[in-house]
Structure 1
Amino acid sequence: MTIIASLLRSAELPDSPTARLDIELLLAAALGKPRSFLHTWPERIVSSEAALTFASYLQRRRTGEPVAYILGQQGFWKLDLEVAPHTLIPRPETEMLVEAALELVPGFAPNRVLDLGTGTGAIALALASERPNWQVTAVDRVIEAVALAERNRQRLHLNNAKVLNSHWFSALEGQRFDVIISNPPYIASADPHLDTGDVRFEPNSALVAGADGLDDLRLITRQAPAHLNAGGWLLLEHGYDQGAAVRDLLSGQGFEKIQTRRDLGEHERITFGCLPC
């Protein structure tokens, strides 16, 4: 028989930068309990079935598979989201987009919001959960991602959001929004980081955007004005070294009040601008 404390002491993930957190998340999932249970009941006996499940989780993590894919879920904002290998894993940095949108746009107005390349639905559903009077449209070109985002929407009972299949603006002809927001692919095709860490397991279609990583950002900034109401905002996540380029793209399309904000690592991470009234 094995107790929780023994498993926590003996488990090793030498190549993970977040080894202790990973181990606790995987053990808690194997037990079907929250992480707090591990520290509240360290002497609790672990069943052989749960121990075997934990061991298999550890082996998968040792190969580099992300914890979110192993467990099939990831926290984002205040939500627990289903994730799958055909979508990007939501990251804390992307919450900056949600924060900026909530700050820039009046909450009392019945705004129409568009989330481009929604993946799991993270950004769209976070905004819909915070602003029940907003109408949020989430689009993705990957059918499996659309289905996953819709499952997340239904499970969270967010009836002020809808999920559509669209390659960027392709299915939105004639529609205009007060806010367009996106975390598009922005990694250069030859970037060596694509062969390291969790990124190895994520879909290239959600990561790579041409030789300089700006292909999708160019398309979005070029086409967004035709789908924004006057005074509407376009908010974009981008790479740590792309802030200046994205500011230039926005100014080239006539956007005003352009700002870039830095993440906790002091890297330029999101840029936004307003379409003139």
Structure 2
Amino acid sequence: MSVAEALRDAAERLGPASGTPRLDAELLLAHALGLSRADLLLRQRDLSVPAAFDALLARRMAGEPVAYIVGTRDFWTLSLRVTPDVLIPRPDSETLMEAAIAHFAGRAPQRVLDLGTGSGALLLAALDQWPLATGLGVDISPAALAVAQDNADRLGMASRAAFRRGDWAEGVSGPFDLILVNPPYIARSAALSGDVLHEPEGALFAGPEGLDDYRRIAPQLPSLLAPGGVALLEIGYDQAAAVGNILGAQGLAVSVRRDLAGHDRCLLASGADCPTAD
């Protein structure tokens, strides 16, 4: 079977298990060949299908996320290592980076805090965006911190990125110009499907309304924000009002930024005397 035929057959087999069967097939075959997807597509007439491809397809057909199978995921400008110990970075979370760039137009944050850092995606994206910045990533999971540290090492950012185990910002000393937060925000009763079924529950669920962690994080933010700084929090598409009220009760000025699909995705919170940018 040629590579082109294998990809067509794999995409058909993956159809019931994936919303992007052709892309998944290409990524899995590229991984089996030890190539990038771009190289696979450019060189497919000269390549043979390795025996390992079938095993990778079987894992994907069983529902395992492609990112966990291949061990990497692109986020912002970076390629990150991911494992089942961390959430898979998603394009929705890049909304926080877009909001940060808009907020700091014409200047750069010096100190960055990433609460619930997971793979380190947000912190490392910020440090890549602002090469003179330094940052701290906090997570309660030692396994997640190991993944984040490995990503910092591989990307040459270990001298600028520190990681520590912690329960949100407890024991953290500010101030920080930029605080990034992607907490669990799914209600415990929510019915889930797809890739999230394989992701760590502790990074997904936050009580009956999905708001428990926002209630814990919000009181910590005012004392951590530097003058002119901003905290950016990822939210569920229907949580802007509820989380905005939680932040507002701490004296923070709040605005919302939408993702590419037009959904509310990021809340910007700053000191009441420093309005946020939409």
- Report the TM-score, using the length of structure 1 for normalisation: 0.92
Contact 1:178 1:233 in 2 (8 A): yes
* Correspondence for 2:5: 6
| Corresponding residue for residue 261 of structure 1 | 257
Q: 1:18 aligns with which of 11, 17, 20?
A: 20
3-state DSSP of counterpart to 1:93: helix
Letter in 2 for 1:78: T
Per-residue CA deviations over 1:23-48 (Å, capped at 9, x if unaligned) read 0000011111122233323322416x
Change in Cα spacing, 1:21 to 1:109, as seen in structure 2 (3 Å) is: closer
CA distance in structure 1 between the aligned counterparts of 2:241 and 2:248, rounded to whole angstroms: 11
Query: For residue 39 of structure 1, what is the aligned residue in structure 2?
Result: 41
Equivalent in the alignment of 2:276? none
- Contact map agreement 1:230 1:276 (CA 8 A) in 2: no
Q: Which runs of 5+ in 1 are unaligned?
A: none
CA offsets per residue over residues 149-195 of structure 1, 9 Å max, x none? Answer: 000001100122211111111231x43212211111000001012xx
Which aligned runs of 4 or more in structure 1 are off by greater than 3 angstroms?
106-110
**Aligned residues: CA RMSD:** 1.5
Cα distance change on mapping 1:77 and 1:109 into 2, 3 Å: closer
Q: CA deviation at 1:110?
A: 5.5
Map of 1:26-175 to 2, 5 A cutoff? 26-46=28-48, 50=50, 52-105=51-104, 108-109=107-108, 111-158=110-157, 159-172=159-172, 174-175=173-174
Structure 1 residue 6: deviation in Å?
2.1
- Identical aligned pairs, as a percentage? 45
SS of 1:75's partner is strand
What CA deviation, in whole Å up to 9, does each residue of 1:125-150 have, x standing for no partner?
A: 00001111112111111001111100
Amino acid at match of 1:125: L
Contact 1:231 1:276 in 2 (8 A): no
Matched to 1:104, the amino acid is: H
**TM-score normalised per structure 2:** 0.92
Q: 1:260, CA displacement in angstroms?
A: 0.8
Check 1:214–1:204 CA distance in 2 against 1; reply closer, same or farther (3 A cut). same
Q: Distance in 2 between matches of 1:232 and 1:275?
A: 8
Contact 1:3 1:44 in 2 (8 A): no
Letter in 2 for 1:214: L
Q: 2:233 aligned with 1:232, yes or no?
A: no
Distance 1:9 1:270 in 2: 38
Alpha-carbon contact 2:95-2:258 (below 8 Å) kept: no
* CA deviation after TM superposition for structure 1 residue 105, in Å: 2.3
The residue matched to 2:44 in structure 1 has which SS? coil
Figure out how many residues of one structure are paired with residues of the other and give that number: 269
| Gapped regions of structure 2 (runs ≥ 5) | 274-278
